[in-house]
Structure 1
């Protein structure tokens, strides 16, 4: 079946939290700071704020994007859903709602860095990690809608 994008509902916190927890657990460079229950609660808080769009296939959440204004806070997919344009669809949806988007990506997350570069995000700053909970160096990236003359 096809992928449907929709605003997240409170009951999606479990599935979005599982997706984020799977990423955190699977990245060997990521410090393990939060339990799955804490991660689900974090996703629930983003959903309660109205930030989250989910990608759903056959009634199952397979990815999500959290956006606060122009700031993309999270974009994660189930590991078996990468490479299928689901992340691009979520990002395109965010792009359609804004002329500018920005985000922070960990320097160690080379896959995400390549993805955002393909999606026309450019580096606009770097941090030594003191600004994030994980204390990992990261890169700020920005996307601006192209204007036609």
Structure 2
């Protein structure tokens, strides 16, 4: 049986283009998930977190700490990145009156914001759209932190 060489070439190219399309068309869920360490730095460990929205439906505010330099970092990370919305990440160390904040329109995360917090209580929080989270008196030995969430 004799096969036309140009017909085989067309079939091979068609199969190759279908395979290439399948490889390049990765689903959105396969995108790398943003972590606090990606935002703050890999030497920062997550020490606390607070959900934004019902059970974290909008995202999470993370408090991280680097024991090598004594700094805390806060990042607010959306559960599902998308169109830019109002977001923030902030931290305040009352004993030293030091603070840092990041407010703006973001698609996936706000921050990082850094403050030296070794051996100090910290207040921190953030927002996604109109849902705000605040944690006061956090990471203090013997002190119970206070959490508040509000919608504006």
The answer to whether the superposition gives a TM-score over 0.5 is: no
Report the TM-score, using the length of structure 2 for normalisation.
Answer: 0.26
Which has more helix, going by share of residues? 1
Which has more strand, going by share of residues? 2
Report the TM-score, using the length of structure 1 for normalisation.
Answer: 0.26
Between Structure 1 and Structure 2, whose CA radius of gyration is higher?
A: 2
